[in-house]
Amino acid sequence: MDAAGARITITRKDSKDVGDRQIVVSVDGEPLATLLFGAEASREVAPGEHRLRAHNTLFWKTLEVSLAPGEHARFSVVNRAGMGTYSLLGLLGVGPLYLRFERQSPPNATGEGEKGRNV
């Protein structure tokens, strides 16, 4: 990464992910990746304000983040089961998978870390 740039990494490796259905991610309106379970994608970006969007074709989440020069921000996306998912799955053969999209704490942080702002 260029010292004047910043980096965004989005992972889909959470153990609570049901492992089904793709999650499509974009940065500032530009496609970044279609993530299947176990995948991750990164992109270098200019420091400053950015809008990240993720969807699983049913639910959409948007995060707005501000990145400093040299910062590497990490995010996690998860397709998770919710109330009624398994009932509908048994009845119809398909059920809604809810989307969680959040900023991860830096690896060396002792506190909770900064979260992106949901909009």
Q: What is the pLDDT of residues 44-101, one digit of tens each?
A: 999 999 999 999 988 899 999 999 999 999 999 999 877 665 565 555 555 677 889 9
Does the residue 106 lie in any domain?
A: yes
Segment 1-20, tens digit of pLDDT: 556 899 999 999 999 998 88
Does the residue 1 lie in any domain?
A: no
Q: Which residue has the higher pLDDT, 97 or 111?
A: 97
In the sheet with 23-27, reading across from the earlier edge strand, the strands are 30-35, 23-27, 48-55, 60-67, 117-118
Which structural domain, as residue segments, surrounds residue 72?
A: 6-118
> HEC profile for 41-86?
EEEEECCEEEEEEEECCCCEEEEEEEECCCCEEEEEEEEEECCCHH
* CATH number for 35: 2.60.40
Provide the domain count of the chain: 1
pLDDT at 10: 98
Cβ–Cβ contacts within 10 Å for residue 27, how many? Answer: 18
pTM, two decimal places: 0.78
Does the residue 25 lie in any domain?
A: yes
Does the residue 11 lie in any domain?
A: yes
Does the residue 33 lie in any domain?
A: yes
Does the residue 61 lie in any domain?
A: yes
